Amino acid sequence: MRAWLLRLATVSVLWGAAVSGPAAAQAPSKPFVFTGIPDQDESRLVERFGKVATYLEGKLGVPVRYIPVKNYPAAVTAFTNGQVQLAWFGGFTGVQARRAVPGSQAIAQGAEDAAFKTYFIANAATGLQKSADFPKAIAGKTFTFGSRASTSGRLMPEFFIRQAFPGQTPEQVFERVGFSGDHSRTIQLVQSGAFAVGAVDYSVWDLDSKAGKVDGKSVSVIWESPTFPDYQWTVRGDVDATYGAGFTEKLKAALIGITDPAILEPFGRTKFTPVTNAAYEPLVEVGRSTGLLD
């Protein structure tokens, strides 16, 4: 009996060691969650951000999850309320998010985002041709922006329109003004003739053109805007407290270290580079001048 009890005690000790050893001591890490503004069709977004999630999980050593949002304001809200810790924002949504969450930082942008641009596109039926000068002949036609909070699809186009037509709002310049919600949709609306002219992110135009979604006989670029700062990765200021000291720098290094074309190409970017909040101060001034930012 004593021998049997001794064996039982030994098994109990070993079992206790097993459940209280390293695996049990290391509780599952809190998932690191991110999102991105829905600037293109959903299938492309899932492809793009799914690859980023897999990559970051391997670099950061914590579970990483991407969650989609329905529109640009929803991305800002998810960031503001802490539902996500990181977001791929446009220039203007990044400004809005960082103003709402003190301590948050822009940490990386695409190499192309330091000097981004908007394309004005027109349906072939308008007869408008590409010009280096702002196409004032668009006045009186129907015009669609992208999302109301888009940098390249609303903020900067409206700024350029107001510059070209002093004292007038877009609603006064055009017969009808619309908001498509995303850049791919803008292209389709102008291509179909639902709107005569529209403003679109040049990188989405290029991606959709390569994907065969643009009919060059129906729609074309008529003007390229001056450049401005745009997309960036913005992280909340409390991630180091949650995931450990130095986590922000580790995340920044991981993003800047992306070299895989399979990850970069869906973004229309060649690489990511370091950036700070200061790079987006010009957008604050533009937002105020157009009345889109308090």
> What digits encode the pLDDT tens for the residues 23-43?
333 444 799 999 999 988 787
pTM of the model as a whole: 0.85
CATH match for 32-114+229-290 among 3.40.50.300, 3.40.190.10, 1.10.10.60, 3.30.360.10: 3.40.190.10
CA distances from 107 to 45, 95, 171, 277 (A): 21, 13, 36, 8
Question: Domain segments of the chain: what residues?
Answer: 32-114+229-290, 117-224
Alpha-carbon torsion, ordered 194, 200, 203, 204, to 10 deg: -30
Q: What integer pLDDT is reported at residue 180 of this predicted model?
A: 97
Q: What integer pLDDT is reported at residue 172 of this predicted model?
A: 98
What single letter denotes the amino acid at residue 265?
A: E
Q: What integer pLDDT is reported at residue 47 of this predicted model?
A: 87
Q: Looking at 47-99, which runs of residues are DSSP E strands?
A: 64-66, 86-89
Q: What integer pLDDT is reported at residue 29 of this predicted model?
A: 75
Strands lying side by side in the sheet with 105-110: 64-66, 32-36, 86-89, 232-235, 105-110, 272-274
User: How far, in Å, CA of 229 to CA of 13, rounded?
Assistant: 62
> What digits encode the pLDDT tens for the residues 62-75?
999 999 999 999 99
Residue 77: pLDDT over 90: yes
Nearest residue to 222 via CA among 128, 142, 116: 128
Q: What integer pLDDT is reported at residue 197 of this predicted model?
A: 98
3-class state of residue 48 by DSSP: helix
Same fold, 32-114+229-290 and 117-224: yes
Q: Is 237 in contact with 104 (CB distance < 8 Å)?
A: yes
Q: Which CATH class is domain 117-224?
A: alpha beta
Q: Looking at 102-260, which runs of residues are DSSP E strands?
A: 105-110, 118-123, 142-145, 176-179, 197-201, 219-224, 232-235
Q: What is the mean pLDDT of the chain?
A: 91
Confidence of residue 255 (pLDDT cuts 50, 70, 90): very high
Confidence of residue 11 (pLDDT cuts 50, 70, 90): very low
Confidence of residue 17 (pLDDT cuts 50, 70, 90): very low
